Structure 1
Amino acid sequence: EHYRIDERTRQFFIFAQSDLGDEGVKNFGQLLHTQSEYG
């Protein structure tokens, strides 16, 4: 697994999928990737 998804993140993915659709999930994935590089 590329990211360690905690419960809050998983809930956000569910929210993003239902509320924002694929584009929102894609953007959130990029945000996670940025945080993992610089965090």
Structure 2
Amino acid sequence: MQMIQSSMKELQQLFFDLALLVDDQGEMIDSIQVNVH
């Protein structure tokens, strides 16, 4: 049971990091579009 809990925490952290990455990329894409137009 302990093993499952630690795996879930790691998975949660992974999704959190991924969400932050995607958020950063979204801002980068926005600024590229502004520079192009």
**How high is the TM-score relative to the length of structure 1?**
0.47
Name which structure has the greater RCO, CA cutoff 8 Å, separation 6+. 1
Which has the larger Rg? Answer: 2
